[in-house]
Amino acid sequence: MSIAIVWSSPNKNGLTASAKNQIKEGIEKTGTKVEEIHLNELKLEHCRACGNGWGVCKTKGECIIKDDFADTYKKLVDADGIVFVTAVYWHDLTEQMKAFLDRLRRCESGHNGYLADKKCFLTACAGGTGKGAIECLHNLEETLSHMNMTACDRIPVIRFNKEYTLPALKTAGGVFADAIKES
């Protein structure tokens, strides 16, 4: 069994990375393999809205852009569960997370449906005022729901709550892995 952690922040030692590390530790404690995917390190272009807007992906289930998208997509299909961890920018997902999910949604909802019913765990990390973490989680869940993916939980990590949410994420990672094992 393996769980993919898709995360996005340019900071390898920031709040988002800390949240990701806690969840990863919790998952690994259950003996589950983790496939870590750091979107900021990958070559991922934006959707070009080809084919008059509907895209070749609607008929072929593949994106025409040759970059790291196809490999990353396959890793998510192969995973038993998926954790999304994003920094909060402008009350929303990072640009890298948005770009990746835009293309994933087109291939998935238009054609493939490989990720339907996949269990997910969502975390948004807002190190500023903390405002926008909830909107970010909402936007993420909306996008996932277009692919019929299921959110088991959504956790906002902000400056005010990080002392208690970061340790809790380790427990949450373990609970998430156990839930997937049982299902």
Contacting positions for ligand FMN (CB under 6 A):
9, 11, 14-17, 87-91, 125-132
State the burial class of residue 66 (Cβ atoms within 10 Å of its Cβ: 0-12, 13-18, 19+).
exposed
Q: Least distance in Å: CB of 128 to ligand FMN?
A: 3
Task: Kindly give the interhelix angle for 95-107 and 133-145, rounded to the nearest 10 degrees.
Answer: 20
**Contacts of 45 by beta carbon, 8 Å cutoff, 6+ apart:** 65, 67, 69, 99
Nearer Cβ to ligand FMN (25/95)? 95
Nearer to ligand FMN, 96 or 109 (CB): 96
Nearer to ligand FMN, 110 or 127 (CB): 127
From 123, 128, 126, select the one nearest 26 (Cα to Cα): 123
The CA–CA distances, whole Å, from 29 to 33, 175, 179 equal 10, 10, 14
Nearest approach in angstroms of CB 65 to ligand FMN is 25
Asked if residue 143 lies in contact with residue 135, where contact means CB atoms within 8 angstroms, the answer is no
| Closer Cβ to ligand FMN, 147 or 169, answer by number | 169
Nearest-approach distance from CB 158 to ligand FMN, in angstroms: 6
In whole angstroms, the minimum distance from the beta carbon of 8 to ligand FMN comes to 9
